[in-house]
Chains A and B, each alone.
Chain A
Amino acid sequence: MTENKNPDREALDRLADALVDDILNTSDEDMLAEFREGHGDPGHHADKMRALFEKSVLTANKQRLAAARAGAAASRTRSSEATPPIDIAEARRRLRAVLDAPDAPKELTLAARKESELSDADVLGMLEDLRELGVLPPDDDSDGKP
């Protein structure tokens, strides 16, 4: 689970991964029986988790809305002209290009190595930060807007 040169920690990483794999490979029947033993009614638990998931859907929707608003607000401050909607795929490509550049600061690549796991709001925020730091090329300031 971790990347280091500590042989005992690496050994424990492998064991922890194996335990998770075992859980994933346990049959439904055994998993339900095991859950009942330690945690009670799996149906009740599943209902709670389904409610949690619906809450997560709402939260994700709010985050997307906030990202869209932030992008729109940022574009308004840069230009009084009407601007098209943000192309988040283009914004991600632009961030990836900055991070992959051979002269990219190491601390940036460490912080955002997994661009694909950043939320849309994170990507837009990071591009904004990079522009303010002068890392983003001066002529490359459209944040994914065509």
Chain B
Amino acid sequence: MSGQVAAIRSRDEIESAIRAFTDADWARLHKVAHAIARYYAFLRRIEPEDLLQEALLRALDTRNCPAHVDVVKFLAEAMRSIAHGELEKARSGPVVVSAASSDERQAAFLNYPDPSISAEEEMIDRQNAAAIRRTILALFDDDPQAWVIVEGIMEDLSAAELREMSGLDETAYDSKRRLIRRRIIKEYPEGWKP
């Protein structure tokens, strides 16, 4: 560790970078917003457009985009973070409100989730996740190479391991990954729900 603090883009630099986005950049962000919104739809509906707009606002307002990070990737990460925050809220984390002097608002500030509800929701989430995992794998029953890649991604294998296990060269592997993405998106236009 050098001990140096990473340079952060100024607000003007972020604005300039976004104004310079190409049509492909905006198309990419559109696709990312939809992919994230679809995934998190298992617990809470998130509008992709709202997700992207919130990410843009966050990029402008919090100004924490490191200079070495591509702004498109930064916005994609911001969208993931926002969606994850929504998920945490939906999972009934502690409620935080603007605390004023009244006892009721103070009580709300310190409110804890009902553990019995959380346990029930957790059980339902486990069942739903298992069902979605089975359904997604079943989409590739007719394509053993794609099946291996999908299962391998879910088991956290590296790209090199996935290529080796599927027996595909780099180009064929990339093409297969594209097919996988498109097939999953087609299967779940309204979100990954069982």
Contact = CB atoms under 8 A, between A and B. Distances in A.
A4 B84 CA distance: 12
Instruction: Tell me the dominant secondary structure on chain B's binding face.
Output: helix
B23 interface: yes
B83 to A, nearest CB: 7
B98 interface: yes
Contact of A8 (B26, B30, B40, B130): B130
A81 interface: no
B-side interface size class: 35 or more
A101 interface: no
B148 interface: no
B192 A12 contact: yes
Interface of A: 1-2, 4, 6, 8-9, 11-12, 14-20, 22-24, 26, 28-32, 34-35, 39, 42-43, 45-46, 49-50, 52-53, 56-57, 59-60, 63-64, 105-108, 110-112, 114, 116-120, 125, 129, 132-133
Contacts of B112: 107
Contacts of A50: 19, 21, 26
A117 B154 contact: no
11 contacts: A19-B35, A19-B39, A20-B36, A24-B73, A46-B26, A52-B56, A60-B61, A108-B96, A110-B93, A129-B98, A129-B109
B28 A26 contact: yes
Contacts of B29: 49
Contacts of B24: 28-29, 31-32, 42
B27 A35 contact: yes
A117 B58 contact: yes
B125 A107 contact: no
B171 to A, nearest CB: 12
Interface core residue of B26, B72, B177 (most chain A CB under 10 Å): B26
A41 to B, nearest CB: 9
B51 interface: no
Contacts of B136: 12, 15
